[in-house]
Copies of this chain bind each other. A is one copy, B any other.
Amino acid sequence: MVDIDHSNYVIIGGVAAGPKTAASLARRLPKSKITLFQKEDLLSYGSCGLPFFASGDLNSIDELVVTSYGVPRDADFFRKVKGFEAITGAEIIRIDRAKKTVAGKLIGTGETFLHRYDKLVLATGSVPARPPFPVAKSPAIRYFTRPDDAVHFRRQAEQGKIGKAVVIGGGLIGCEVIQACADLWGIETTLIEIQDQLLPYVLDADMAAIVRREIAGQNIEVLTGIGVERITLNDAGQPVVFIPGYNPITADYVFLCLGVRPQSDLAGDCGLQLGKTGAISVNEFMQTSDQDIYAGGDCAESIHQITGEKLYIPMGSLANRHGRVIADHIAGVTQPFPGVLGAFFVKIYGCNVGAVGLSEAAARKAGLAARAVWGTFPDKPDYYPEYRTFVLKMIYDNVDRRLLGLQAVGTGDICRRIDVFSAFLQHRATINDLLDFEHGYAPPYSEALDPLHHLAGIAEARQDGLDIIGAGSVIQSEIRDAVWLDVRETDEVESQPLPAGDVDHPESILNIPLKQLRDRVKEFDPDKRIFIVCKRGVRSYQAACILKAAGIRNVTILGGGVQALQ
């Protein structure tokens, strides 16, 4: 029998999962010996806060390494407060699983050491994905993953040395970095994304199109579906980005935000099983193929809660939760990690973006009978001052009505709805469960029915035959020979006409305010397809009911209304 109370625990990695595991272990097993090795000098820095130091939102990078009461989270802090040893500047080079030792060297002195473990925890994190094109060496061409990157950029920006920046990669970090460049510093910024949309993999194309519309005209040029050929330096030492079919872009600064890959070499070298994603394979207790070695955070593989698929989702929040599961399991508490749902938020200018669960594309790819509904909603009653709006897209399973995912874009409070939806997904809830949701209601915060109730109601209507498409997915071929029915009031139509690009034949737009529709149903050719549009989608739904009750069947509503058009 192992004496877990007096064992020797070794943790490799000191940013998120590592310190969290060590601290939890020290609380649970105060008599054990816990040693954490960190290659860098900094420990437990809020790496997710780096874009906000770069942007100028934070005054000092120190704010990312001190506690809320001003004490730095250094080795001394971890020893005295958290009860474990953290050794910085110590690189682990080899794991000997047979002898249960780790071998390393102190970077400062070159001195080597050997450390025995009973249980080992790998929290080795991630490294930036290497660009698939040639890149010249320059301090002005950087990843955006380490404090140095943010510090260097900010110093240059503060000195007014950056007039033009290029961000390569339109994922979560890329989007945070364009905000960091263009907002406070006013840097003219070009974003280049090889996929056909911003935030690929995590948002559907129609929702990503709304994000793109929201950030348009903010010093930002967004180029999608375009791969970079190479990045060179000109005679003045400035980076030049070459992209096929465009003039080369000369910039003062280039960020390579191409995602990260798991730092799993140490694990692979000692024969631990790696997944197809390249991350370390773990079971539900975060144990690797060696039961005395755990892995957590950005180096470990995840399982999707809905599809069961193995995937790689590096997220600071998951890393923290991994840490708890690992410490619990070592201490004899067996609460499995349930897998991931892929919840995220990102702020791009005033636009809040978030999602949880599967996108429609991902759900289809996983073989699910995915359907979607859309709506635009105020985040509190629109009679209340300072309400804001957002567009939601909900994905559910057409067969068993199970909820699959939610995406949100807008200036309103999307976070509440994403987090609530995550709780529903965790419990494998259905549309019906969402209808039963009891939200808090008071006009300064919410409406009598939450947007999630409305979405569930629209999903029910869709199951009963309502046809709905996302406003962002309207394509020209579908709307030839269709009639557009705009049920907004005349003054609304005048102040925000339908974008010309959305309709081929302006003569086919009928504006009939909703209140007149019931008396004018005879005006419709029952053989033509009708697209109904309004401001947010609510009136279109009502209009579809009126037309259907009058026997007009070929009716499609534009989910989210003109507020959700690109």
Contacts and interface: CB of A to CB of B under 8 A. Distances in A.
A549 B383 contact: no
Interface in A193-235: none
Interface residues of A, number: 102
A57 interface: yes
Given A316-B448, A419-B416, A68 B549 contact: no
B69 A441 contact: no
B46 A335 contact: no
A345 B383 contact: no
Interface in A377-431: 378, 381-385, 413, 415-416, 418-420, 422-424, 426-427, 429
A113 interface: no
A443 B173 CA distance: 12
A518 B444 contact: no
Contact of A432 (B335, B424, B491): B335
Contacts of A236: none
A349 to B, nearest CB: 11
Contact of A439 (B16, B419, B461, B546): B419
Contacts of A68: 378, 382, 535-536
B317 A52 contact: no
B438 A340 contact: yes
A94 interface: no
Contact of A420 (B423, B429, B450, B546): B423
Interface stretch (A99-107, A153-161, A261-269, A319-327): A319-327
Contacts of A319: 448
A536 to B, nearest CB: 8
A98 interface: no
A523 interface: no
Interface string A68-104: 1111000011001111000000000000000000000
Interface in A436-451: 436-446, 448-450
A58 B345 contact: no
Contacts of A438: 317-318, 321, 340-341, 343, 356, 422, 426
Contacts of A71: 489, 513-515
Contacts of A381: 46, 49
Contacts of A423: 420, 423-424, 427, 437
A492 interface: yes
A48 B424 CA distance: 28
A257 interface: no
A420 B419 CA distance: 6
A461 to B, nearest CB: 8
A441 B57 contact: no
A27 B418 CA distance: 29
Interface string A444-472: 11101110010001000100000000000
From A324, A338, A442, A548, residue with most partner B Cβ within 10 Å: A442
A158 B519 CA distance: 43
A488 interface: yes
B48 A441 contact: yes
A48 B489 CA distance: 27
A32 B338 CA distance: 48
B83 A518 contact: yes
Given A341-B438, A445-B415, A515-B80, A453 B321 contact: yes
Contacts of A442: 48, 176, 344-347
Given A30-B549, A64-B383, A320-B449, A440 B343 contact: yes
A502 interface: no
Contacts of A518: 80-81, 83
A383 B347 contact: no
A517 B83 CA distance: 11
Given A30-B549, A416-B416, A426-B437, 9 more contacts: A30-B548, A46-B448, A49-B381, A49-B384, A52-B444, A76-B515, A81-B542, A317-B438, A422-B437
Across chains A and B, which 3 residue pairs bring their CB atoms closest together, nearest first?
A30-B549, A423-B423, A317-B441
